[in-house]
C-alpha cells in the first residue's frame, strides 16, 4: 500500500528544495513510496545503501554524484553513511536546483544531526507514519484490525492475527539487534528490549525518569538516554504538556506513547482482540492509536499538547494555532461521558470547540460545542 498523501507531499517538496529527507521507522513503507516516485520519473536513479554493490558506487561520492547532477538521486538508508552529508552539501551548492536528492532514513533529525546541520536551508524533512485510517479506509469492523495489528503494512496485511503477531515479534528483534546498532548506538539489545517493554506498561502515562530508573535499576539520566534513543528511532512519542499562564499549577512532565499500537500489543503479549478487550492497557492503547491519527493529520502550524492542572482539570489533547484552540478527549466507550475535569479544562482554556473521539459509528453532538466522533471521521474534521 502506498501512502498517496505523503507521496504528494514529498513530490511537492522536491519542487521546492534541493534535498528532501523522508523519515520513518524501518518497514514503514518508505522504500515502496520512493520506488513509486522513481517509476513515474524518466530521470531518477535509486541506490540502496544496505546493498554492497550500491554502496560501492559511492566509494568516491563526489565523482559519482556529480555525473548525476541532472537526475533525481534516491539514497535509501542514508543513516548508514553519515559522511555523505557534507559531500551532498558541496554538490548542492555547486548547482542548487530543486529535486536533486531524496534521502530515506530510519531516524529523526536529532539522530541525523550531521545531516540536518550540513544541509540546513537545503533540505526539507517529511515524516512517514505507519498506515493511517484515511489510507486504509476501513469499515467500522476493520478499524479494530488496524488498531490491534498496527499500521506497519506487513503486520496489517498479514493473513491472520497469528502471522501478524509473529511479524511484529520479528520486527522488534531485528530493530534492537540490527537497526539500533546501525545508528551508532551501543546499548545491549536485551537491555533496550526490557526498557521498551517497561514503557509499554507505562504507555499513555506521565513519564517519571526517577521512578522508572529505580524500577529498572539505573540512574534517571540513563532512563532519559534510553527514551531519547527510542524516540529518535521513531517508535516512541513524547507528548508535552500545554504551557499556558493561567495562574494555576500545571503538570510539567510529558506523557509517553508507543507510536504504533501493534508494536505496543506485541510488547505486552497481546495477540487477539479478546485479549486486548480484557487487558488493563486497553484505554491507553486506544488513546495512543487516536493520537497518532490526529498527529499525522493536524493542519500546518498546529501545536499538540495535553492539559492537566493540580486541581483536576484535564483534557487529552489541545490543538492550537494562531486562530484558535480545539480540545480532544479520547474515550474507549460507545457511550462516552466526559468527567468534570474535561469541562473545567474547556472553561480554563477558553476552548470554543471540542471532540470526543470514541468507537462510535456515526458522529453526534453532545452539546453545542462538543461533538462525539469516530476515528473514521477524524481526517475530515481536522481538515475542516
Q: What is the pLDDT of residue 312?
A: 87
Stretch 9-24: mean pLDDT: 94
Residue 88: in which H helix or E strand, if any? helix 84-94
Kindly report, residue by residue over 95-106, the tens digit of the pLDDT: 889 999 999 998
Average pLDDT, whole number, for the chain?
A: 92
Write down the pTM of the prediction: 0.93
Kindly report, residue by residue over 312-339, the tens digit of the pLDDT: 899 999 999 888 899 999 999 999 999 9
Cα atoms found within 13 Å of the Cα of residue 321, Cβ hemisphere only: 7
On whether the CB atoms of residues 341 and 312 are closer than 8 A, the answer is yes
The answer on pLDDT for 222 being more than 90 is yes
Stretch 81-104: mean pLDDT: 90
CB atoms within 10 A of CB 164: 24
The answer on pLDDT for 193 being more than 60 is yes
307 vs 83, 207, 252, 315, CA distance in Å? 42, 15, 10, 5
CA distance 169 to 164: 9
Stretch 353-382: mean pLDDT: 94
Query: In sequence order, what are the residues at sequence separation of 6 or more whose Cβ sits closer than 8 angstroms to the Cβ of residue 348?
Result: 246, 248, 307, 309, 313
Q: Which residues pair with 239 in a beta bridge?
A: 255
Kindly report, residue by residue over 237-259, the tens digit of the pLDDT: 999 999 877 667 788 899 999 99
Q: Which residues pair with 74 in a beta bridge?
A: 46, 102
Q: What is the pLDDT of residue 214?
A: 93
The answer on pLDDT for 1 being more than 60 is no
DSSP class per residue in 90-158: HHHHHS--SSSEEEEESS-TTTTHHHHHHTTTTEEEEE-PSP-HHHH---HHHHHHHHHH-S-HHHHTS
The answer on pLDDT for 4 being more than 80 is no
Q: Would you call 354 helix, strand, or coil by DSSP?
A: strand
Q: 110 is written with which cell numbers?
A: 536529532
Q: What is the pLDDT of residue 117?
A: 76
Instruction: Determine how β-strand 314-320 pairs with β-strand 325-330.
Output: antiparallel
Stretch 172-188: mean pLDDT: 91
Kindly report, residue by residue over 104-138, the tens digit of the pLDDT: 998 887 667 666 677 888 999 999 999 999 889 89
CA distance 158 to 75: 28
On whether the CB atoms of residues 260 and 235 are closer than 8 A, the answer is yes
Q: pLDDT tier at 3 (50, 70, 90 boundaries)?
A: low
- Of the candidates 154, 245, 228, the one whose C-alpha atom is nearest the C-alpha of residue 192 is 228
The answer on pLDDT for 341 being more than 70 is yes
DSSP class per residue in 7-74: HHHHHHHHTT-SEEEEE--TTSSHHHHHHHHHHT-SSEEEEETTSHHHHHTTSSHHHHHHTTTTSEEE
Domains of the chain, earliest start first: 4-127 (3.40.50.300), 133-383 (no CATH)
Q: What is the pLDDT of residue 247?
A: 60
Q: Helices 140-149 & 161-174, crossing angle to 10 degrees?
A: 30
Stretch 17-33: mean pLDDT: 93
Percent of the chain past pLDDT 90, that is, above it, reads: 73
Q: What is the pLDDT of residue 8?
A: 87
- Of the candidates 139, 138, 147, 168, the one whose C-alpha atom is nearest the C-alpha of residue 279 is 147
CB atoms within 10 A of CB 323: 8
Amino acid at each position: 500500500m502506498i501512502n498517496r498523501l505523503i507521496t504528494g507531499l514529498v513530490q511537492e517538496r522536491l519542487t521546492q528544495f534541493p534535498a528532501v529527507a523522508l523519515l520513518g521507522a524501518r518497514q514503514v513503507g518508505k522504500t515502496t513510496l520512493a520506488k513509486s516516485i522513481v517509476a513515474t520519473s524518466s530521470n531518477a536513479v535509486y541506490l540502496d545503501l544496505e546493498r554492497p554493490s550500491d554502496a560501492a558506487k559511492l566509494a568516491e561520492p563526489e565523482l559519482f554524484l556529480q555525473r548525476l547532477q541532472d537526475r533525481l538521486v534516491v539514497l535509501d538508508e542514508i543513516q548508514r553513511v553519515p559522511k555523505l552529508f557534507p559531500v551532498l552539501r558541496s554538490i548542492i551548492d555547486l548547482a542548487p536546483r530543486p529535486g536533486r536528492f531524496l534521502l530515506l532514513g530510519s531516524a529523526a533529525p536529532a539522530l541525523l544531526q550531521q545531516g540536518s546541520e550540513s544541509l540546513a536551508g537545503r533540505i526539507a524533512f517529511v515524516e512517514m507514519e505507519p498506515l493511517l485510517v484515511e489510507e486504509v479506509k476501513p469499515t467500522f469492523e476493520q478499524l479494530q484490525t488496524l488498531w490491534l495489528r498496527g499500521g506497519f503494512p506487513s503486520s496489517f496485511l498479514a493473513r491472520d492475527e497469528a502471522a501478524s503477531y509473529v511479524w511484529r515479534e520479528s520486527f522488534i528483534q531485528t530493530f534492537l539487534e540490527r537497526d539500533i546498532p546501525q545508528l551508532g548506538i551501543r546499548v545491549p539489545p536485551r537491555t533496550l528490549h526490557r526498557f521498551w517493554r517497561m514503557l509499554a506498561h507505562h504507555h499513555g502515562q506521565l513519564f517519571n525518569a526517577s521512578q522508572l530508573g529505580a524500577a529498572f535499576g539505573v540512574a534517571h539520566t540513563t532512563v532519559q538516554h534510553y527514551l531519547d534513543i527510542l524516540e529518535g528511532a521513531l517508535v516512541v512519542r513524547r507528548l508535552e504538556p500545554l504551557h499556558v499562564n493561567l495562574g494555576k499549577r500545571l503538570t510539567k512532565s510529558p506523557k509517553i506513547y508507543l507510536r504504533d499500537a501493534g508494536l505496543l500489543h506485541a510488547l505486552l503479549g497481546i495477540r487477539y482482540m479478546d485479549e486486548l478487550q480484557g487487558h488493563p492497557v486497553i484505554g491507553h492503547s486506544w488513546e495512543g492509536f487516536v493520537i497518532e491519527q490526529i498527529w499525522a493529520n493536524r493542519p500546518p502550524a498546529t501545536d499538540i499538547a495535553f492539559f492537566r492542572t493540580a486541581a483536576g482539570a484535564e483534557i487529552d489533547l489541545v490543538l492550537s494555532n494562531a486562530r484558535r484552540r480545539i480540545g480532544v478527549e479520547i474515550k474507549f466507550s460507545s457511550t462516552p461521558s466526559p468527567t468534570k475535569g474535561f469541562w473545567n479544562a474547556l472553561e480554563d482554556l477558553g476552548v470554543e470547540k471540542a471532540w470526543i473521539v470514541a468507537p462510535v459509528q456515526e458522529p453526534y453532538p453532545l452539546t453545542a460545542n462538543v461533538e462525539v466522533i469516530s476515528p473514521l471521521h477524524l481526517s475530515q474534521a481536522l481538515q475542516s
